[in-house]
Structure 1
């Protein structure tokens, strides 16, 4: 069972707004946790509210259910299909991040079919910088972004695609950067490059999304990173490279997922078996990678060790799930208290990349419950429905 504390998510949102210069927009990346109650809490309430960053029709539906308007969504991703773009246009989405000339063309065709013009940000794949922390998202060959060195040849084509209006640039340099200096350095590189592209190549620059990278622990004890110098440093670099931001003529944005919601969630799992053999102890749980997959399919593995609360840590064991595969392991050499069958273990900081980042349909087990709290109030109890039978369709639907 996942438990989400909306107060923690809202506190993280408000703290991030405080760390940014006045006027910055924050886009919540629904990939981190698309639960409508969680997204709604980040969107609503007094003071600052988030917009939505989405990259599928499913995330668009979740955003709309949570109360975001289509006009508050930024649609990203390198493989937008005609059907997805049509749905987005129907729902009022008008802001897209485009990753290539062909991607921009697809957006323009969809917009033209709906008698409108789509505002597009060029996602730029900038050269690598010296940052050594976090997960690198730029500076190498990738399906993401337009290589910056090609822009002198392609800018004219990109800015004249029918059905589109280029309004700015989108960068996403790194993910999960706990080192504030590294993150600041990445942001400065992006802002400086945006300024050069505007002055030398004529990039229209009404909107600048400098991405994210704000860190938080995952499935292990800890607290989200703080960035006490970020506000003053962003003001300094914007004053240097894009001074008109002070007039309000340039929209500025960041995006964040895990930083906003990781601390808000925990996963409660039950011990169903304890097995010892050949010098190792295995604590077998009622949930594994089917409930806490950790995006392991793209190399984001769970920690191989984590301390969990619950008394004196006198047991070292492997935490295994219930699936019939040796890959169903949540942690190795984990320090634990002495446990018995039926005990409950709490895995902290699982409000991001939990349920929907997991192998939900593998081996057909029940999906975990998701319980949403606001203080002591239970806001909702839900369970994501995964179809267990195939719905037969007529061939012509293809």
Structure 2
């Protein structure tokens, strides 16, 4: 079966899926932990032996998915108070977490250090100074990897994250010009962090980017004397999104990256440095499906619309930014011989931007029909416009095979807060209570 094959089998039978919809309602997210395990195995097999894997909670912070990956040996990479709360709730030891992101505030850094976070990715001299201040204030020391905004490898492979003017990472010329600014009380620089691109299906391009990062790490070690205890080579591993398909497997990646490490960082085999990678979409993308129901079908000036009980408030938050990704769904039940019709899938929101698919060829689309969007375990609900119009969040059901492990629903609610005098970035006491 190829990645472009539209006949990829669902994780669980349709009758079980229908049972879940009947029991928990529509719309409904279903996450299959067996698929998470397979994805982790596939990624581990594609990487050099003994590589550390970080799971990026930005893809999906559901504690059950985080906990499953933790049992498989993955560590968590978090970028906010909310993701930190999810990681701790899932049982991740605070001392193993990596706290990253370009917008870390003094208040959240104080909170992170308070809860035992000691490993940070620093994005700039200013970020490093704020990390140091938060650690020093509490008598702690933060071990930091420097995220590097280096020139990318030739060619294109996925969405570029660095290699040009960017909010992400240190520019190399800035590091070479002012290396003394890395000596910050409360911190110790212990390595480097790269993340040049994301969602790269092309193995050759991905391999070139990782090899280039390895060579840059060796150059910074030699020219600036940066100690290398940890080199995080980032991710970029692809997965289909809201369309049928399978993850790529990158069969030649392990050998090529291993050779590059042996050449440029030969002590990596003894753990000096530890080699790490991070992934979100690859690890959980194909574990999730969104089930929703057709509420109305109408024809308008030559276009057929199916109006669903779910939209960009539950899936595809990038649509709200005018970036509609190609999506496709399938009805769980169709009548034999029924011909597909070109249909635009619209959600329930009062905006023309609420579209989950334009001109999709589907059969069996009628009021009451249940549709399934596959491969939405990553950047699904938590990346959506959940607060817009105030529709309830869909239930999220976690299964292993045909066994339900948990069912829950996110809830937005307004709460009273005490005024914090003169502190724009002061610690949010309510969130702090939730973390403890």
Structure 1 residues 147-156 or 305-314, which shifts more? Answer: 305-314
Q: CA contact under 8 A between 1:308 and 1:335: conserved in structure 2?
A: no
Within 5 Å, which residues of 2 pair with 1:1-398? 1-44=28-71, 48-158=72-182, 160-297=183-320, 301-303=324-326, 306=328, 308=330, 311=334, 314-387=340-413, 389=414, 391=416, 393-394=418-419, 396=421
Contact 1:131 1:186 in 2 (8 A): no
Deviation (angstroms), 1:295: 3.0
Q: CA deviation at 1:180?
A: 0.4
Change (3 A) 1:225 1:172: same
CA gap 1:364/1:17 in 2 versus in 1, 3 angstroms:
same
SS of 1:77's partner is: coil
8 Å CA contact 2:312, 2:320 repeated in 1: no
State whether residues 5 and 373 of structure 1, in contact with CA within 8 Å, keep that contact through their aligned partners in structure 2: yes
Going from structure 1 to structure 2, the CA distance change for 1:299 and 1:324 (only over 3 Å counts) comes to closer
Change (3 A) 1:145 1:341: same
- Unpaired segments of 5 or more residues in structure 1? none
- CA deviation after TM superposition for structure 1 residue 156, in Å: 2.1
Q: Distance in 2 between matches of 1:396 and 1:196?
A: 47
SS at match of 1:295: helix
TM-score by length of 1: 0.95
Aligned-partner Cα distance in 2 for 1:392–1:117 = 31
Secondary structure of the structure 1 residue equivalent to 2:365: coil
| 2:430 aligned partner | none
Residue 302 of structure 1, CA deviation = 2.0
Q: Say if 1:299 and 1:137 are closer, same or farther in 2 by CA, change over 3 A.
A: farther
Does the 8 A contact of 2:329 with 2:374 survive in 1?
no
The separation in 2 between residues aligned to 1:11 and 1:132, in whole angstroms, is 28
- Does the 8 Å contact 2:320/2:385 carry over to 1? no
Alpha-carbon shift at residue 247 of structure 1 (Å): 2.0
| Cα separation, 1, equivalents of 2:179 and 2:387 | 44
Q: What is the rounded CA distance, in whole Å, between the counterparts of 1:62 and 1:50 in structure 2?
A: 15
Deviation at 1:59, TM superposition (A): 0.3
Residues 392 and 121 of structure 1, relative CA distance in 2, 3 Å threshold: closer
SS state at 1:270 partner: strand
Shift of 1:237: 0.2
Deviation at 1:82, TM superposition (A): 1.3
Alignment partners' CA distance in 1, 2:402 and 2:330: 24
The number of residue pairs the alignment matches comes to: 392
SS of 1:333's equivalent?
strand
CA contact (8 A) 1:155 1:203 kept: no
Secondary structure of the equivalent of 1:371? strand
Give the TM-score, by structure 2 length: 0.87
**Aligned equivalents of 1:309, 1:201: Cα separation in 2:** 58
Equivalent pair of 2:329/2:372 in contact (CA under 8 Å):
no
Q: Indicate the RMSD between aligned Cα atoms, in angstroms.
A: 1.5
1:149 offset after TM fit, Å? 1.9
